[in-house]
Amino acid sequence: MSGHITGLVDHVKKVATEYKFTHCVLHRQALVAKNLLDEVKDVLDQSVKIANFGKTRPQKSRYFKMLCHEMGSVHENLLLHIEVRLLLRTMVQLSKTEQVVNEMDNYGLDILALSEVRWTGAGSQTLKKGSTILHSGTEKKKEAGVAIMLSKSASRALTKWTPINERIIVARFTGRQAKLTVVACYAPTNEADDTTKDNFYNTLQAVAKDIPSHDLVCFVGDFNAKVGSDKSYCPEVLGSQGLGEINENGILLVDFALTNDLIIGGTHFEESAVFLGEASPF
């Protein structure tokens, strides 16, 4: 992450002759794209669109896998190529939201939870295409922060939303058959102290307790947790599609899910390992 320091690499090499420098992995795709011939880039762009089309819905993905199997293909899965990469400066700048709105539209999403937004205070803003963003953060410091972005149709269905703190925000929607409560979360990292973690889960439990019992409920966001691949640890909560070994945050997450009669959805659906590094929504 030295791009903003002019001449840094040259200065370091004068002192450490064996120093090796490589561009941040987040930027390699952009660097490669700059050197591609226009014809090749067009082919790559079309390939990405085709791959993404097959990944936008689980049914399409299953059909593609069946087709590859019938053709005797060695590979049967596609990786979703998301144009909204990690926002290196999070979403401090309001202009960043336009990128997210475009991607929501591309993938047909109505509700999207955002973590580490770093907006101060709490409020809502109407964006282009009739989308809405609800956000909750600290009063002064630009740190943590959560938000829920809604499509135009989801905005119309919104009946109530509550900013809890810089790590939790709640929104309730009215559907044709039932009401839906979405809780967007940004949990402390696994390295955070026990007090910080306990405060987060105590607050989250209080939120869960206040949700009407007849609502459909989704806890979504970044839980900074790994729940592992061993479903026998808690079969009531975990599926067989987890990854690696459970960590301390994973234990807290599983306990929370078990207490509230929830499942961790990301462990119940087959997906490429690249998307299973962190615990997925309930």
Please tell me the predicted confidence (pLDDT) of residue 132. 93
Side chain identity, residue 53: F
Give the 3-state secondary structure of 16-35: CCCCCCCCCHHHHHHHHHHC
Contact criterion met (CB below 8 Å) for 36 and 47? no
Spatial separation of the C-alpha atoms in residues 124 and 135, rounded to whole Å: 6
DSSP 97-155: HHHHHHHHHHTT-SEEEEE-----SEEEEE-GGG-EEEEE--SS---S-EEEEE-HHHH
Q: How confident is the prediction for the chain on average, in pLDDT?
A: 79
HSE-up (13 A, CA, CB side) for residue 132: 13
Q: 80: pLDDT confidence band, cut at 50, 70 and 90? A: low
- Within a 13 Å sphere around the CA of 264, how many CA atoms are in the beta-carbon half? 36
Cα four-point dihedral sign 107, 110, 116, 122: positive
Tokens for 93?
Answer: 């700048």
Could you tell me which residues come within 8 angstroms of residue 198 by beta carbon, excluding any fewer than 6 positions away?
Answer: none
- The whole-model pTM stands at 0.66
How do 216-222 and 179-186 pair as beta strands? parallel
Please, what are the domains in the chain?
109-275 (3.60.10.10)
* Complete edge-to-edge strand list for the sheet that includes strand 111-115: 111-115, 146-150, 132-136, 122-126
pLDDT > 90 fraction of the chain, expressed in percent and rounded = 40
| Residue 92 pLDDT exceeds 80 | no
**What pLDDT, in 10s, does the model give residues 108-120?**
889 999 998 888 8
Tokens of 138: 């600290």
Residue 215 in this model has a pLDDT that exceeds 50: yes
Give tens-digit pLDDT for 244-263: 889 999 999 999 999 999 99
User: Are residues 147 and 183 in contact, defined by beta-carbon separation less than 8 angstroms?
Assistant: no
CA distance 128 to 106: 14
Q: According to the model, what pLDDT value does residue 19 have?
A: 65
CA angle at 247 for the pair 242 and 253, rounded to the nearest 5°: 75
